A and B are shown apart, each in its own frame.
Chain A
Amino acid sequence: MSRRVAVCAVAQIKNEPDIWYQRFQGMLLECFEELIKKTGVTFDMDKGIRNIVTCSDDVFDARTISDSGMADVVGAHLRGEKKSAQNGINALGYGMSMILSGHDDLVLVMGHCKESQSESRNMCTNLAYDPFYLRPLGLDFLNVSAFQAREFMKKSNITDEHLAKIVVRSRKNASKNPFARENGSISEKDVISSPYLSDPVRELHQYPVTDWAVGLLLCCEERANEFTDKPVWLTGFGNCMDSYFPGDRELTSNFALKKAAARAYKMAGVKDPKTDIDLFELNDAIAYQLPLWAEGLGLVPEGESDLWVESDGMDRHHVNLSGGMLNGNPIMLSGLARAVECFLQLRGEAENRQVDGVKRALAHGTTGGAGQHHGVIILEK
C-alpha cells in the first residue's frame, strides 16, 4: 500500500481584516474554481471527486451544521462531504487518511472562517468551555493561553524583548507574502509599549482578526500525474489532544505536541527534525508560542529557546517565512495556512521568500486554549 498522498494544487484568497464584500460562500467559490482550472479535475463518480472535507466552525459562522450552507460551492452537491470543526490541519490529515485507506482516490479539502463577523473572538472561544466550572469565570482561549505564556516565559527566560523580535519578524516576513494580511510594519518598541490584554500577553503579541478561505486537492500516488507534474507529498501525520481542564495540564510540557510530532516523524521517517526538515511553519497564535512549539517539536532543547531567538534560530531553521499565524490567519484555518506555505516552498513557488533546496517541510496546527490539541504534517518534494 502506498504510504504517501499527493497535494496536487492549492488555491487561496488573500487574508484580510474584514471581507465585508463577500459571503463565505463566495470566498470558497473563488478557491474552488481556481482548483478546477488548475487541475482539470472532474466530479465524475468513477474517476473524479466523490468526497470533500470541509473545515469551519458553527459559532464563528453563527449557524449550526455550518457545512450545510456551502456544499454546492465546494463541489459537495450530491456526493460525500465531511466537516472538521477543528483546526484545518486535521481536515488535511483526515483527507490524507481517506486516500491512504483506499476509500477515495481524490479528496478536496476546503476551509473558511470569517472572524470579523462576530462581535468578539473571545466570546466565541469562551463557548468552548463548559457551563459549570470554566465558562462562568470568563475563560477564553486568550486568557487561558496567558497562563501558559507566564509559565513558559519563566521556564525559558523569554522576555518582552524576545517577543517583540518575534512579532516584528513576523510582519517583515509577511510583507513578502502576497496572500498575507497587510498590517504595516512596526518596531520592537511598538510591541513592548502595546497595552497588556491578559498579562503577560500584549495586544501586538496576539494575531489580529482575519477572514480567509483556502482549498487543496489531494490525490493518491498512482493518479497524481493526471492533475499535476509537480506533486507535493504528505508523508507523515500525527495529532494529540491534551487534558480538558487547564489545571490538569502541565502547561509548558508540550505533552500533546511531542506525541503528535513523534507520530508524524515516525510515519515520515524523520530521525532528527533539526537536520531532516528544511522548513517549518508553526501555529503561533500568540508570540510566545513560536519558541514554545519549537521546543516541543525538538527543534530547540527544552528551556533554551531564549538563546535560539537571540541567535536568529528562526531564520536559520526557516521558521514561519509566511509571516505565521501571528500576522493573521483565522483560528480554524491556521494549520492549513501553514501547509500551503510548505507546499509553495517545496514547489519553488514562494517568490521572493523562496528558500533554496527545500526537500522536506513541517506544518503544524493547534486547537483550543494554550494549544490543547496539536496536529503535525510532514510534506515532501
Chain B
Amino acid sequence: MNIEKDNQFVIEGKLALPYQYFSGRTGSRFLIRLRDDKKINGLKCNACNKVFVPPRSTCEICGETIQDNWVEVKDTGTVTGFTVVRYSEPHQPVKAPYILALIKLDGADTPFAHIVQGIAIENMKVGLKVKAKFAEKTTSTIMDINCFMPAG
C-alpha cells in the first residue's frame, strides 16, 4: 500500500485534562475582593515604593516579603500599550477583532493586561484614559472585569 499525505493514518487528539489551579493566598485575596467588592487591589513594596498589579507576595526587585501591604488602586487608568488581535482562535475570550491593552491603573506602578472596548479601533491610542467595566455575572476570574472603556 502506498501511503501518501491524504491516506496516512491520523489519530485525532486533544490535550484536555480537568484541573484545579489554586490561586494561592495572595491571588485568592485579590480575586475575592474583585468578585465581592468590585475593587482592584495591589501589593506595595515599601522599599522600592512600587505598587504591583497583579499582586505578588514577594517584590521581584528587592526580594522583600510584601504580602500584607495591600493597597487599593483605582478602577481608572491609562493605556501604555496595545494591539488589535485580528485572528480568531478558541483561546480568545471575545470575538476578534478585539483590543488587548496594557493599562496602568491609577495608584499602580505596573501596567496590567486587559481588553478595551467602546472605542473604534482606528481611534485607539497610547495615553487613552480608561475605566473598568465590571462583569454583571461573576466568573471568579480576572474576567470579573468585563473590559475597560474610555473614561468620561
Contact in complex: B21, A131 (CB < 8 Å): yes
Q: Is A43 positioned at the interface, with any CB of B under 8 Å from its CB?
A: no
Q: Is A140 positioned at the interface, with any CB of B under 8 Å from its CB?
A: yes
Set B83, B85, B93, B98: member contacting A150, Cβ < 8 A: B83
Interface readout for A275-303 with B: 1 if CB under 8 Å, 0 if not? 00000000000000000000000000000
Once the chains are docked, how many angstroms separate the CA of A130 from the CA of B107? 24
Contact in complex: B81, A251 (CB < 8 Å): yes
Q: Is A123 positioned at the interface, with any CB of B under 8 Å from its CB?
A: yes
Interface readout for A194-224 with B: 1 if CB under 8 Å, 0 if not? 0111111100000000000000000000000
CB under 8 Å from chain A, chain B span 107-152: 110-115, 126, 141-143
| Chain A neighbourhood of B113, CB < 8 A | 133-134, 137, 139, 245-247
How many residues of chain B get a CB closer than 8 Å to chain A's CBs? Answer: 40
| Chain B neighbourhood of A133, CB < 8 A | 54, 112-113, 142
| Chain B neighbourhood of A199, CB < 8 A | 83-84, 86
Q: Is A136 positioned at the interface, with any CB of B under 8 Å from its CB?
A: yes
Q: Is B91 positioned at the interface, with any CB of A under 8 Å from its CB?
A: yes
Set B84, B85, B112: member contacting A247, Cβ < 8 A: B112
Once the chains are docked, how many angstroms separate the CA of A245 from the CA of B61? 13
Interface readout for B69-108 with A: 1 if CB under 8 Å, 0 if not? 0000000000011111111011111100010101010000
**Which chain A residue has the least Cβ–Cβ distance from B108?**
A247
Contact in complex: B142, A132 (CB < 8 Å): yes
Are A245 and B54 also in contact (CB < 8 A) when A20-B8, A147-B81, A147-B102 are? yes
Contact in complex: B82, A150 (CB < 8 Å): yes
List 20 interface pairs A-B (beta carbons < 8 Å), by A numbering: A21-B3, A21-B8, A122-B89, A123-B91, A132-B54, A136-B93, A137-B93, A138-B91, A139-B113, A140-B91, A147-B81, A147-B82, A147-B100, A147-B102, A198-B84, A198-B86, A199-B83, A200-B83, A243-B60, A245-B54
